[in-house]
Chains A and B, each alone.
Chain A
């Protein structure tokens, strides 16, 4: 079977969700949805054996063959791991949501449609081999995530959070599209695998770094890296199953997937190593530091997600170093790749379970505010156990899976010290230090999360709801995840062999031939190494900090609200709205005079610039004909009449002067031997002056008349500029006739072909009668237009009179 079609299975299923929701009222719609991810999960399990042998399988669905665009699904170690996470955790989340969301009160049809859309989008991202279809699914995750965050759309905060995440992730998505297009231009292919194959030709290209930065922007915005993490805490307004699924286990890992997928291509670049590792570590530190500040359970988890994603990101950056070193050094950076993937799995497990417990606490007590909670341990023992396991794993303590990945992480960071390329020798020492400090804070917030909620005494103030343990169905999913967290600690090498090593092979393409060559053996006890000592230090300092938390937590209040990144985002948004509004109001004055100034100024400027850039200004004296006295006299009359129009004090004088202009133009036509034009000009001038007089009889006097005419310098300059420009253009055009005139043909054939003597008239009615046909149509429209405007206005007046 073509497994590319399976990507679309959830989307197709989503079509039937509203039907089931409306028709079958007794059964929670979630049960029907639950089947879909389970089927997919079981299906994808079958590929494990294949990827363990280092094989890759593809499946293609042609979409736009003429543009070489198609859906190509590739299953290798990396995409299989992600697909299993998406469908596996997807199943658990659907199961959890069945008990979390009420059948009667919630719009379940919306919820599951969005969720299934999201599932398709995520599967599409991780399996796509085609950059354009990857982008398509990428934006589909942004859209479905937007819909899911805004699920309770009557709440302001939901809408705000949805919009914020949309703005940031779509910004990144568009940047990424730019990067993809550049990549496909450089590599002459849309296929990611072919691009990686062509890496040699791409690396030297001018666009290489630009494409790298653009793609990283996409990955960083999606994976909530510094400074784009700000959308994630606001996305916590979504229902908890959504937070558990999208904002901890899957969507935020799309960016990590992207970085991992493109590592073989970009790893050769210094910029890549620095950016990915540096931003990752900064995010790790920043997220863990600010997680302790939060008072909302889900906000703590959001910041912790940000921080853990930073951790994985920095490991991905460190793993790129493997391409730069040889021999025994390289092995340690191959460990980094292993650690990244391994921690990714662990994080999906424990963060999913933690979100679910946070949801349970919220659901059963009615609040998520950690200041109101406390002493729930005895009431909710199962939830506490799950939260405890998750938190300890997050803090990196044995015997939980987080311990193993934390050790591997510290190993990689310590190894970066000795890396000598790209100035790492001088700055490298910072990496393990930052990692260590961040781990201490991770330890603190993990304890903060679990013990402030469950331990201690019950608070005096009664909770919004009488707390009780959650139903079994709701506990099922977190318990399964927590079991896996503990389980992975005891069988890390089996997990490594089945999932991590094939993924590492896909990620570090070209370094291995077979997954078994990834020489990493994870063990809980590997001797008294520096990283173990660091862990002990983390535990000691972290415990101390946790116990003295009340004393130093006030430090967070030092940072003023207006200096935060959120304030920056808000002011950007405000600038986008009102600032842009002010900007457009500044130049869109609504005055036609202003717009005419723009137009004429641009005409003058552009024409003059083009004249001189193209060196087109030529004056050829020979092409001028001789002046005659009549011409000079008429010109003087014309200029005088024009001046009179400009300086006339009354409208009547201006109209008469305009008539003078018209008649002197007619005189020009006479002098330059155009009898038809002269005739027409004379008569039309007469008729139009008569019309002017008729029309202007009813007009009020000009406002500026009577006063001293305001002399606008700007208007003068622009008018002069346009005049001069047009004169220059006319002179140049007259001086260089590039092709001979067609008029010889008319002279020869006017009698033989058209049986006429007046060339002008024959051109008008015969050679080019088409123009005349439409000119008279224009005249007819003008006449009917005048009639319509005046008569319809009258009719309306009469109607309004009747109403009186």
Chain B
């Protein structure tokens, strides 16, 4: 039986980006407001799950042509690199640095190495959850 789910698919196309943007927002807001890498990652996953529900596995793989296990690896590398980077500056493992910088486009911005670490968390969460869902879903 072939079902017509054009409403679902059209709705998804719009809602996906809203959820995705919200997840990015939550990720960046993490340091001062509720949110952070973990929730951000999970929200992105939820957005992709929605895509998976509306379309099929192959279409989503074509739209997002990443090997999510590599995403996991990059995430872990970022997190570990941030933590280990402090050793170079002769401070203990996992010492973060922060400060205000003037950036060309954003103007006066507060930057914090914790954000890079959080990005690692974000990538690992997205990568592993999607890997799980894709493998389980792709198993017949």
Contact = CB atoms under 8 A, between A and B. Distances in A.
Interface string A691-714: 100110010000000000000000
Interface stretch (B9-17, B76-84, B101-109): B76-84
Contacts of B37: 765
B72 A676 contact: no
Give me the 7 closest cross-chain CB pairs, A-B, nearest first: A783-B128, A757-B32, A675-B34, A683-B42, A776-B124, A755-B98, A761-B36
A694 B140 CA distance: 11
A680 B38 CA distance: 7
A676 B39 contact: yes
B114 interface: yes
A764 B36 contact: yes
Contacts of A790: 135-136, 139
Interface residues of B, number: 47
A63 B131 CA distance: 61
Interface of A: 675-676, 679-680, 683-684, 686-687, 690-691, 694-695, 698, 754-758, 760-762, 764-766, 769-770, 772-773, 776-777, 779-780, 782-784, 786-787, 790-791, 794
Contacts of B110: 755
Contact of A758 (B33, B94, B98, B132): B33
A791 B135 contact: yes
Contacts of B114: 754, 756, 762, 765-766, 769
A771 to B, nearest CB: 11
Nearest to A787: B135
A780 B128 contact: yes
A756 B32 contact: yes
B42 A684 contact: yes
A758 B35 contact: yes
Contacts of A757: 31-33
Contacts, number: 137
Nearest to B38: A680
A758 B68 CA distance: 29
A628 B114 CA distance: 37
A790 B45 CA distance: 20
Contacts of B32: 756-758
Contacts of A756: 31-32, 112, 114
Given A782-B132, A786-B135, A687 B46 contact: yes
Contacts of B72: 780, 783-784
B26 interface: yes
Q: Which residue, A762, A782, A783, has most C-beta atoms of chain B within 10 A?
A: A783
Nearest to A686: B46
B94 to A, nearest CB: 5
B75 A786 contact: no
A758 to B, nearest CB: 6
Contacts of A787: 69, 131-132, 135
Contacts of A769: 83, 94, 96, 114, 117
Contact of B129 (A680, A698, A783, A794): A783
A679 B132 contact: no
Nearest to B130: A783
A758 B124 contact: no
A691 B139 CA distance: 13
Given A680-B38, A786-B136, A765 B128 contact: no
B39 A680 contact: yes
A782 B128 CA distance: 7
Nearest to B138: A790
Contacts of B94: 769-770, 773
Nearest to A786: B132
B125 interface: yes
A687 B39 contact: no
A783 B41 CA distance: 14
Given A694-B136, A694-B137, A782-B128, A761 B49 contact: no
A766 B121 contact: no
B67 to A, nearest CB: 11
Nearest to B34: A675
Contacts of A782: 128, 132
A675 to B, nearest CB: 4
